[in-house]
Amino acid sequence: MGARNDELLARYQRSVMGVFGLPPLVLSHGSGCHVWDVDGNRYLDLVGGIAVNALGHGHPALVSAISKQAAEAIHISNLFTSEGQIALAERLVELAGAPQGSAVFFANSGAEAIEAAIKLSRRTGRSGIVAAEGAFHGRTTGALALTHKPAYREPFEPLIAGVSHVPFGDEAALRAAVTAETAAVVLEPLQGEAGVLSPGTAYLRLARELTRQHGALLVLDEIQTGIGRTGTWFAFQQAGILPDAITVAKGLGGGVPIGALVAFGPEVAGLLTAGQHGSTFGGNPLAAAAGLAVLETIEEQGLLAHAAKAGQHLANSVLALGHPLVTEVRGAGLLRAIVLAKPVAAAVAALARDVGFIVNPVAPQAIRLAPPLVISTEELDSFVTALPALLDAARNSEDPA
């Protein structure tokens, strides 16, 4: 926020396609859980690149890993493989608790991982996919068919056929929707884009039961919830089930683009065979080195337990404010939504930015927080301390009387 920021945003508006709208800030660099704009203003990053910057900004382990790899080989094509790619696949299978014979397909993003999951499901010989209302699985055309929000979908219809959406968490609707024609049920363990909504453990277990009963795949979208975000490596592990496949991305590369489809067991992993899918950049040496560094650092620094503890501290602290505008704090680990009594989330986010906090107004009445997993409770407390004044100002701006 300053002269340099305004100048660059004017150039942005003239030269960058406006699919993201006009950003409020031009960021120049970051360190730990803070970022700076081009005018030198500092912000506590409570969004983390939308759950991407798992280790924050400039983490020495990640910087060292990708610097070393960049000097050796950034890309080699998937005509070949690398030791890092193999090690990362093995590590993902291990951390997911997937059975022997499981395998990984590497892509560049979460949306591409979903595309791979759609093709995997088609190889069952069926084409029906059950997804959930409120779901967000990406914006490529296949992933968009599974995404629910009409504003994202309608300009590009018709999308792929055979996708039905059921109310999230409605067990009766899920029972009715899954049939012998269903190739896959695709669900997020927590719907981030919808405001960090949980369907409950029983619902996920029912999805497992129904898909097994009808011979369909259960695909869980762990793109946002995976890689320790909710306090376990993957959110499904808190439900005590094993899916047939998961999609991951975001936190895996700590900022280096990478996505992956993990297929559980040889039967599922074997559905896609040579030549049926591919990716030019997926799992290249640089991305694999980043992924391995992120996973190793999360384990070494005990960030799973920290995410669970810090996230609960954040939720308790916000609720303890007793502010009349806060009705609920949803989510798990360090994926949280502060739910508001009035649709002033955008105003709160703008006010927060003015005093040095970056938060995400994911819905009119919900503020999403997905900070780096390395964030300290002191840093979280600094936001909680500032929050009442932000809420008061947002409420007053809506209703000056």
Asked if 59 and 254 touch (Cβ cutoff 8 Å), the reply is yes
21 vs 32: CA distance, rounded Å: 27
Residues within the annotated binding site for N(2)-acetyl-L-ornithine? 139, 279
Nearest residue to 307 via CA among 362, 254, 370, 366: 370
Residues within the annotated binding site for pyridoxal 5'-phosphate? 110-111, 136, 221-224, 280
Give the DSSP per-residue string, 185-254. EEE-SSBTTTTSB---HHHHHHHHHHHHHHT-EEEEE-TTTTTTTTSSSSGGGGTT---SEEEE-GGGGT
108 vs 253: CA distance, rounded Å: 10
160 vs 23: CA distance, rounded Å: 31
Identify the burial level of 157 via C-beta atoms within 10 angstroms of its C-beta, where 0-12 means exposed, 13-18 middle and 19 or more buried.
Answer: exposed
DSSP 8-state class, residue 210: H
Positive or negative, the Cα torsion across 210, 228, 45, 321? positive
User: 37, 45, 221, 244: which one is catalytic?
Assistant: 221
Here the tokens at position 319 are: 């609720």
Amino acid letter for position 101? G
Beta strands in 133-192 (DSSP E): 163-166, 182-187
**At which residue do the structure tokens 């959110």 appear?**
235
**At which residue do the structure tokens 């050796």 appear?**
72
Residues within the annotated binding site? 110-111, 136, 139, 221-224, 279-280
User: 37, 105, 250, 264: which one is catalytic?
Assistant: 250
305 vs 299: CA distance, rounded Å: 10
Active site residue 281: no
Active site residue 250: yes
Asked if 72 and 84 touch (Cβ cutoff 8 Å), the reply is no
User: 136, 168, 234, 236: which one is catalytic?
Assistant: 136
Give the DSSP per-residue string, 338-367. EEESSS-HHHHHHHHHHTTEE-EEEETTEE
HSE, CB side, 13 Å, CA atoms: give it for residue 374. 26
Dihedral angle over CA of 140, 144, 150, 153, nearest 10? 50
Residue 104 sits at φ, ψ, to 5 deg, of -120, 140
Beta-bridge partner residues of 260: 106, 248
Q: Please list the active-site residues.
A: 136, 221, 250
